[in-house]
């Protein structure tokens, strides 16, 4: 019983802290840190970048959340296609939120229409939860998010053509994630047949 408890604690510690830092983890967290420091550096050279503490906290929370979700996806599956698909989905969600907060997809960041894109993120998240993060279900969830992103952009064509087309382009990233999740589902199905 004691060995079982020790093994359980070791597994929990590995999940929470990680037993080693691989290159991709260093690159991921390093890139997030660099992106957070970039505005601080830019503020030293130009007055056009003017972030306050709240901007840094919000962006730091977004980057940390994105990196943490990528960490969880990496631990959920050792399949490279699954990890790649999850990274594309998380990156697309991060870019959607970041763009909306910074300048807005449709019009300015204060345009209430941009709240529609929070619904796209909600569709991706709820779809992933309903799919229990299994590859085939994740593919369907990402297709739904891609279609929602395209529809939201299409509805904004009358308000801001350039922004609408830009936001519709994000649907391609959701669909790329879906395609990669399908590849992962096929690989995982094939490997389970071999066992």
Whole-structure pTM value: 0.82
Query: What spatial distance separates the first Cα and last Cα of the chain, rounded to whole Å?
Result: 30
Is the predicted pLDDT of residue 1 greater than 50, yes or no? yes
Pairwise CA distance, residues 73 & 56, whole Å = 26
Helix and strand element counts for the chain (H, E): 7, 0
Q: What is the pLDDT of residues 29-85, one digit of tens each?
A: 999 999 999 999 999 999 988 899 999 999 999 999 999 999 998 888 889 999 999
pLDDT value at position 12?
43
pLDDT of residue 160: 87
pLDDT, tens digit, for every residue of 99-108?
A: 888 888 888 8
190 pLDDT higher than 60: yes
């Amino acid at each position: 019983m004691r060995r079982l408890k020790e093994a359980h604690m070791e597994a929990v510690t590995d999940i929470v802290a990680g037993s080693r830092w691989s290159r991709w983890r260093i690159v991921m967290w390093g890139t997030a840190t660099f992106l957070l420091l970039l505005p601080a550096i830019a503020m030293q050279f130009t007055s056009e970048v003017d972030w306050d503490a709240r901007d840094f906290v919000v962006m730091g929370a977004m980057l940390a959340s994105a990196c943490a979700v990528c960490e969880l996806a990496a631990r959920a599956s050792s399949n490279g296609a699954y990890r790649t698909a999850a990274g594309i989905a998380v990156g697309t969600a991060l870019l959607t939120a970041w763009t909306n907060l910074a300048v807005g997809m449709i019009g300015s960041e204060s345009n209430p229409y941009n709240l529609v894109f929070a619904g796209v993120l909600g569709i991706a998240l709820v779809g992933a939860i309903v799919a229990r993060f299994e590859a085939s279900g994740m593919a369907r969830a990402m297709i739904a998010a891609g279609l929602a992103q395209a529809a939201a952009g299409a509805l904004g064509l009358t308000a801001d053509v350039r922004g609408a087309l830009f936001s519709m382009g994000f649907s391609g990233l959701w669909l790329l994630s879906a395609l990669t999740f399908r590849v992962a589902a096929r690989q995982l199905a094939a490997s389970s047949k071999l066992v």
